[in-house]
Amino acid sequence: MSRVVVITGASSGIGRATAREFAGRGDRLVLAARSPETLAQVRDECRQVGAEVRDVPTDVTETGALDALAATAVAEFGRIDVWVHTAVVMAYGRFDQTPAAVFEQVVRTDLLAAAAAARAALRHFRSARRGTLILTGSVLGHVTAPYLGAYVTSKWGLHGLSRVLRQESRDLPGVQVCLITPGSVDTPVYRQAANYAGRIGRPPLPITTPERVARAVVDCADRPRREISVGRLNLIMRVAFTALPGLYDVLVGPLMRLGGLTDRPVPPTEGVVFRPHPAGEAVRGGWLPDLPGLLRSVGDTAASAGAAAGRRLRRRLASRPATPGSGARASTR
């Protein structure tokens, strides 16, 4: 039987990839994000593969917005089986150079809105005595990095909150609280971020795809687990942070400036912290090469080159004079 899945932050990045992944499984979706235009595009993408979808433009930081979203999902489909919270914003800059209003809005979006989503979901799950809440954390909820103070603060808080929620749900075996912990992911969030560091941010290597994280989310909905880490260096970073704190703190600043910031200058900007930028919303952020497109391009080039070589060979053969007696020899074979 298809599940009813609520996804917040569904217009871009991991949330949009997750919506597509659930849609491909035939689940019924309630999609939420700030931008009505982009959200309608995601709705149509999911409907094209046969999914039943309701899009609900929602600012997760508004009081009561997530309770209203839950009520809409229940009114539309009768229940909620899975709630996936992916809404997130970022801000680059030293703590003392990041405006207080920006810092607080990042925490409000990334932590307090996640708590509001958990409250709305768990209220319904406790009544139904079943359901799965999936929160999107980060490896930066286990380690720290400079120039991302508000984001790190939010993700550390979210990791603590998810642990508390699991402890408080032990009396309900049918209710699961899960955490997806990605490392660097190829999404638009880095370019969309507020920035007071003077240079555009980027995901440090190695970078994974939002589709891979989305598959982990759906797998977690199928087989709930406490935490799923998605990223090849996540464990190494956590071990270094815990076992070698002095060395970690010496190296993380230069590594962040080298791998986490580009050379492209950017003036101070609020990014999408307070309002969306629909034109910048997509599944991918363009930090990884489009391998399928590259392979298609290479294949097309190879096919064109092969066809051209074949035409040249045929022209040479056609223009070559016949060998004397060749016809006679051929007729005796």
Q: pLDDT value at position 305?
A: 54
Structure tokens at 42: 């995601």
Question: Model pTM greater than 0.75?
Answer: yes
Burial 249-284 (b: 16+ CB within 10 A, else e): eeebeeebeeebbeeeebeebbbbbeebebebbbbb
E-only strand ranges, the chain: 4-8, 28-33, 53-57, 82-85, 91-92, 131-136, 175-182, 184-185, 194-195, 199-201, 207-208, 227-230, 261-265
Q: pLDDT value at position 331?
A: 39
Q: pLDDT value at position 25?
A: 96
Instruction: For the chain, 333 residues long, give each residue's pLDDT as a single digit of tens.
Output: 899 999 999 999 999 999 999 999 999 999 999 999 999 999 999 999 999 999 999 999 999 999 999 999 999 999 999 999 999 999 999 999 999 999 999 999 999 999 999 999 999 999 999 999 999 999 999 999 999 999 999 999 999 999 999 999 999 999 999 999 999 999 999 999 999 999 999 999 999 999 999 999 999 999 999 999 999 999 999 999 999 999 999 999 999 999 999 999 999 999 999 999 999 999 999 999 854 444 444 455 455 555 655 666 667 777 766 555 544 444 333
CATH T-level fold of 4-288: Rossmann fold (3.40.50)
Give the integer Cα–Cα distance in Å for 322 and 330. 12
Structure tokens at 235: 């464990």
Q: pLDDT value at position 30?
A: 98
- Domain residue limits, the chain: 4-288
